[in-house]
Amino acid sequence: MTQITIFLGLTFGISLAGFACIWAIPSARSPETLTGLPFWIVMVWGPSLAAIIIALRHGQLPELLGRIVQFAQVPLPVWGIVIAPLVILLILRPFVPDDPMPLGLGMGLAMVGFNLILGPLGEELGWRGVLQDQLHPKVGWLGASLMVGAIWTVWHLPLWTIESPHAQIRLPLFAAHCMVYAVTIGAAHALSGGSLMPAILLHLTFNLASNYAVFAGYRDPNAWFSASLLPYIALAVGASALVALIR
């Protein structure tokens, strides 16, 4: 079997095992409960755990983990892409449909840690560190990004079979965001010389923007996902143009 096949088999096997427990235990349907959190961690960490298993098999785990903290070779414009989702939230804030709610510093920082663990750290070692890098030589960075985006969307689909936070978002709208995120993160990754730090941080800022949007006044997640789609498409186009310009 190819490394891509092994990675996908491990990723979906681990994640579906975690999801099966979430589906079977009603009190585990939310990651914000003590019952649900361990199973959500297993499910979310499927891609990164698969990457770690593959790296261990080939004696490359130190190299894989070291790529998380590499930043010297990352071009300055990539850091602009990383913070762009939060900037877009600030730009769209005057157009919120509902009244804002206060967000304390402690809660804001807690959301950073929560999203980091239940998101980019559990996924990006796999999606970008293995899958994108394996596909890139075959189909180019953009083709690889689109393929990762499609697989990433399918990987999320079980969450629409339960009353999960994701299920509140219209599936076509979420799928469109997945594809746009994948292109933007893929572009940042292509420019970063093997570093996984920009992919992890950009994934984090995408997640944080959607979380903070609730407090800004986008109480219905569909309102935020609809309002931010066109700006995010523009960001993906700009990031793609940057790849063409720099590379």
The pLDDT of residue 139 = 97
The pLDDT of residue 164 = 85
Confidence check: pLDDT of 161 > 90? yes
For residue 236, the surrounding DSSP H or E stretch is: helix 221-246
- Can you give the chain as a three-state secondary structure string? CCHHHHHHHHHHHHHHHHHHHHHHCHHHCCCCCCCHHHHHHHHHCHHHHHHHHHHHHCCCHHHHHHCCCCCCCCCHHHHHHHHHHHHHHHHHHHHCCCCCCCCCHHHHHHHHHHHHHCCHHHHHHHHHHHHHHHHHHHHHHHHHHHHHHHHHHHHHHHHHHCCCCHHHCCHHHHHHHHHHHHHHHHHHHHCCCCCCHHHHHHHHHHHHHHHHHHHHCCCCHHHHHHHHHHHHHHHHHHHHHHHHHHC
Percent of the chain predicted with pLDDT > 70:
100
Q: Give the confidence band of 156 by pLDDT, cuts at 50, 70, 90.
A: very high
Alpha carbon distance 241, 163 (integer Å)? 39
pLDDT tens profile 33-76: 889 999 999 999 999 999 999 999 999 999 999 999 998 899 99
pLDDT tens profile 30-39: 888 889 999 9
The pLDDT of residue 165 = 85
Q: Give the confidence band of 163 by pLDDT, cuts at 50, 70, 90.
A: confident
234: its two tokens: 């523009």
pLDDT tens profile 86-127: 999 999 999 999 999 999 999 999 999 999 999 999 999 999
Q: Indicate the pTM of the whole model.
A: 0.96
The pLDDT of residue 19 = 96
